[in-house]
Amino acid sequence: MTNPTIYKSGIRDVDFGANVKVVEPVNLYECKVGDDCFIGPFVEIQKNVIIGNNCRIQSHAFICELVTIGDDSFISHGAKFINDLFHTGGPAGGDSSKWKTTRIGNHVSVGTNATILPVTICDNTVIGAGAVVTKDITEPGIYAGNPARKIRSLG
């Protein structure tokens, strides 16, 4: 019997703003978290991610490389961000040149277990629980379903 290679999760090389609260265990590395943010337990935020000010990232969220989240945004439990579209029929693996960026605007709420592919989501948008966002969202409103579609305007 052989011993496995064990990697430790933790917090490494993170640029934290003022008044950030983090509930461990988490895996945060080489990312930036703005002022007055909350990061819940069992969250992973990978390198080159930027989280704006006054954001809340709930438990079990996964935010992969190349994601930017604007100010005053909320990422609910179990939300997942994807940067690899498997254009070659399988994962790009370590070839980050094949990964795509995701940009989330200000005042965006992403519901529980939503999946966000590499897209841009405009300000003042709500993504419903379980939604799968496959295309850019350029008009504020509430979006739900798979694929996500606008179900109503806000206000």
**Active-site annotation holder among 60, 77, 87, 107:** 87
Residue span of the structural domain in which 141 resides: 11-152
Whether residue 5 lies inside any domain: the answer is no
Whether residue 128 lies inside any domain: the answer is yes
- Which domain CATH number covers 113? 2.160.10.10
Whether residue 4 lies inside any domain: the answer is no
Whether residue 62 lies inside any domain: the answer is yes
Whether residue 53 lies inside any domain: the answer is yes
Query: pTM of the prediction?
Result: 0.94
Domain count, the chain: 1
pLDDT per residue over 47-103, tens digit each?
999 999 999 999 999 999 999 999 999 999 999 999 988 888 888 877 778 889 999
Alpha-carbon distances, residue 50 vs 9, 35, 71, 126, 134 (angstroms): 19, 12, 10, 20, 21
Mark whether 60 is an active-site residue.
Answer: no
- Find the length of the chain: 155
